[in-house]
Amino acid sequence: MSLLSPPITEERFIIDLIPQKKPFVMVDKLYEFSEHQIISGLTITKNHFFTENGVFNAPGLIENMAQTVAMHKGYTYYLKDMAAPVGYIGAIKKVEILDLPKIGEELKTTVNILHDIMGVTLVEAFILCNAKRIAESSIKTALA
């Protein structure tokens, strides 16, 4: 695992790694990257699409995990000096939401790449907030 020190936080660069655009961007930091793992960050603000009544809701957590998968693919392509590809969520399995983060808290999302074959990627993802696991999922994505 390659720890990026300091983490990448430049907004334009982060947005270029993923197909989503504002106001639907649910990642704002890249902490660590390797061929088989990525760790992203997101500080919850009142302006996020999925923030409601002072908390970031469950669909936002799922989207954060999916965008972290996209960030992995985007950064992989960046390292090859290629544009980030567009992909789609093929399936989401075994989602567990254990807690919802509040405005001002930071998510640290880890995605472990289990299989990446012919543009189809299967991952396991989990989110930590205040060092506590608050969500986990298995996600399958496919390149367009």
Across 16-31, average pLDDT = 94
d(CA 31, CA 48): 20
Structural fold of domain 2-143:
Thiol Ester Dehydrase; Chain A (3.10.129)
Are 129 and 110 in contact, with CB atoms under 8 Å apart?
no
d(CA 52, CA 54): 5
Question: What six digits make up the tokens of 105?
Answer: 């808290």
- Spatial neighbors of 43 by CB under 8 A, at least 6 apart, are 28, 29, 104, 105, 106, 107
User: Three-state SS for 141?
Assistant: strand
Domain ranges across the chain: 2-143
Q: Tens digit of pLDDT for each residue in 53-77?
A: 999 999 999 999 999 999 999 999 9
What are the φ and ψ backbone dihedral angles of 15, each rounded to 5 degrees? -65, -35
d(CA 80, CA 75): 9
CA dist 63 → 2, 49, 82 (Å):
24, 11, 24
Its pTM stands at 0.95
Are 41 and 107 in contact, with CB atoms under 8 Å apart?
yes
Across 3-27, average pLDDT = 91
